[in-house]
Structure 1
Amino acid sequence: MDVNRFFEANAKPESKWDSWKEQNAGKTTPILYQGALDYFMNFYNIDSYDEILEIQMEASKRGATDPLSKYILRDMILKCVNHRIQVEKKSGNHAKTIKSAVQKFIQLCGFTDFNVRLPRGTTKINSNGGSGIITPQQMNIVLGVTNSLLYKAVLLTLRDSGLRLGDVLSLDIGDINAGINGGTEYYYIEQLTQKTNSRAQTILGFEALNAVRDYVRFRVSRGEVLKEDTPLFVVGRVVTEVKSN
């Protein structure tokens, strides 16, 4: 992408946002999105719509040489959403509106493929379990049953990514190496799914990343040499070899 030309074509992101709101006048969504976008800007002390677009444009430029930089704005959204839920104790729907509002704004500015996926467990889940997704309480029970570094890493990766078990077990070290070594709280991965043969874009949160780091460190401490094409998870080993303290 020619970023300079892109900036010229999108010099007034505020007008694009206002135009979209006018086209949807009378609907609830623009009102909710405006409030959510304002909250996001206040959270980061952002003064103008131009500044939001500049963050994404800079991330796009730097992402060509530094893959982690590509997700700067996405990480900002996730941290804001997490604060809204964990600190302010707002509902998951309130928090998801922040994600949707910023995502819509960036898409209107020309980044049509910009999409943010919230890690499973980010938003609160109803206690009735009707969503069919494992609750944080249930996950803690499962994790408490095992002290296996391998199983903990696999379970948390499954929880965050939403991938099938077969897709998770087919990950290589190279698919997540930058996330393991980067010290980030979130990391985006792409994985070719076995069922549909399509590329799934998904995310791992800090718990999953830390669990994977612990498991990888254990393997290295045992003298294993890990390369880019080395399987991330080795399931066929004796369980006692991957026990934590």
Structure 2
Amino acid sequence: MRRFTVAPRPFRARAPRGVPPTVLPRHVGVIMDGNRRWARAAGLASPSLGHRAGADHLEDLLGWLRRRGIDHVSVYVLSADNIRKRSSSEVDYLFDLIRTGVPAKVERSRWWQLHIAGDLSLLPDECRVALEDAMAATTGRPGHLTLAIGYDPKHDVASAIRTVLRRNGPVTPDDLPAAITAALPGGPVKDIDLIIRTSGERRISGFFPWQSQRAEIHFSDKMWPAFGERDLDAALADYSERKTVISARHR
């Protein structure tokens, strides 16, 4: 089957207004949006082929981030709302992509440990088992990749609160925020520093709200399959500039 890729480019950070990317985020979040619109613009026979291109492109992103020393990544793949509202044929195609593509890409990297945030009971058994097997197979790796699949932001936070109360019983108000953060799914670094959303949309659509409360947000007009390495560099440079300005204000 044909694999859609975006050719990698060498690392050449281009900072907005000439500011070098001296400050890098530790944890990057990505909302991969625009797959279907990209497919239509490319004249592909089915919008679903945009989802395949987007799934293939995740592997490129992971390589770019690793080369820049960023080892904590959270990616919005499929919301619970998408599962409920999109056509069954499209959702089944997405499930098949997740089942066959995600575990192989993560295991092949030999770097990323897979974490899943979301309600896996919404997925078919074969898809759920494939993800659970991939999480077990990648345990102990240095990089941490959290994929939001079957994700609902309110359920995510509520589930963490239930976990805290079940494990610890009553918790003081001062201790509760840290306990909730620790109970959330994902790697050891929960707080997201930079969110990148593609496709030109100016919203974050419930993307890890607890973890993203202090995140900088970078909106790219590129559709996700067309988002290139230089676009990532621009997002990192934008983050660096903002952090440099904030640091200067507090001196």
Q: Which has the larger radius of gyration?
A: 1
Question: Considering the TM-score relative to the shorter chain, is it more than 0.5?
Answer: no
TM-score in terms of structure 1 length? 0.31
The structure whose residues are more often strand, as a share, is 2
Q: Greater share of helix residues, 1 or 2?
A: 1
- Highest RCO, 1 vs 2 (Cα 8 Å, sep ≥ 6): 2
